[in-house]
Amino acid sequence: MDNCIFCKIIAGELPGKVVYEDPMVVAVEDIDPQAPHHYLIFPRKHLPTTLDLTEGDDQLVGHVFRVAAKLARDHGFAERGFRVVNNCNEGAGQSVWHIHFHLLGGRDLSWPPG
Ligand code: DGP
């Protein structure tokens, strides 16, 4: 998708600190980290928001959570606890229109979120 930051990172046209990739998803360090560990997991396929998911994406979403758990374990913050967040649309804080899941860890995370 033209003018999509995450599509450009996937294509190698923009720099990104890739921490994980496979045929379905890519994970990068967030450019503006909100926790000691803050990664973005997104599908290679361009979908603007959670509202664009269809039944055919069920495996993809499950895979995202398994990748999140792997990253949390591999980076040593799984046992302390972590959060997987998807912001959908502007009112929830979405600013990049390629579906992505934030993985946050390495500090205590308060609830409810803002
Ligand atoms: P959201 O606000 O939920 O749409 O999250 C978008 C996140 O993307 C935000 O935490 C900052 C991050 N971000 C924006 N531009 C870039 C970029 O060029 N590279 C990386 N690694 N992250 C970016």
Q: Strand 18-21 and strand 82-85: pairing?
A: unpaired
For the Cβ of 31 lying below 6 angstroms from any atom of ligand 1, the answer is yes
Residue 104 has pLDDT above 90, yes or no: yes
Which CATH architecture does the domain made up of 5-105 adopt?
A: 2-Layer Sandwich (3.30)
pTM, two decimal places = 0.98
- Residue with the smallest CA separation from ligand 1 atom 13 is 31
Coil vs helix vs strand at 110: coil
Copy the structure tokens of residue 89: 């649309």
| 27 Cβ closer than 6 Å to some ligand 1 atom | no
* 100 catalytic per annotation: yes
Residue 109, CA atoms < 13 Å, CB-side half-sphere: 19
SS3 of residue 109 by DSSP:
coil
Q: Give residue 114's pLDDT.
A: 82
Encoded tokens for 69: 């758990």
Q: For residue 10, what pLDDT band results from cuts at 50, 70 and 90?
A: very high
Average pLDDT of the residues in 58-67: 98
| C-alpha span between 11 and 4 (Å, rounded) | 11
Cis bond leading into 112, ω under 30°? yes
Q: Which atom of ligand 1 lies nearest, measured to the CA of 86?
A: 3
**Mean pLDDT value of segment 34-62:** 98
Q: Considering only CA atoms, which residue is closest to atom 15 of ligand 1?
A: 31
Listing DSSP states for 29-41 in one string gives E-SS-SSSEEEEE
